[in-house]
Amino acid sequence: MTQIERGGASVEVTVGDITALKVDAIVNAANSSLLGGGGVDGAIHRAAGPELLEECRTIGGCPAGEARITFGYQLPATRVIHTVGPVWHGGAKGEDEVLASAYRASFALARENGLRTIAFPAISTGIYGFPKCRAAHIATREALTAAETGQFRRIVLVCFSDGDAATYGRALETAAG
């Protein structure tokens, strides 16, 4: 695990199951329908129970780069922030900015709802094909920026594998200077 203290917050990179974390909010790397899917999205929906899907049906979707919030239901986290990252098209279609916006929108919803501990998966790096190293630099930059506001106590970047955690850990150390 890599950990940096910034602005009174701990920014951590770890390998684990985001659905098992006891934080105020976990972030769901969702598709634009918010109605569940594969990967992290499917795992969060399964762990939260059918009430999450019921609430998501009332939201009306979410465009890429934005975020929506629901309750956590059967998760240890009290809230789920659903964000939609970009599909990778080679990098010339604004993908970096859309990914950064997804992180910023998630942090903004957390602040608006008084949530001080938050965990993120590696947004857009699965089926959406965003290059992991590039995504890691964006994620860690946005996490450190949010930490500097002093409004968070703990920000966790949860990776699926040791290799991904090493990539995100290096990016966090680079971003922290």
Active site residues: 41
Torsion (CA) 12, 75, 48, 120 in degrees, nearest 10: -10
CA distance 139 to 168: 8
**Helix locations, 5-152, DSSP H:** 39-48, 50-57, 95-112, 132-147
DSSP structure class, residue 18: G
Give the DSSP H/E element, type plus range, for residue 25. strand 25-29
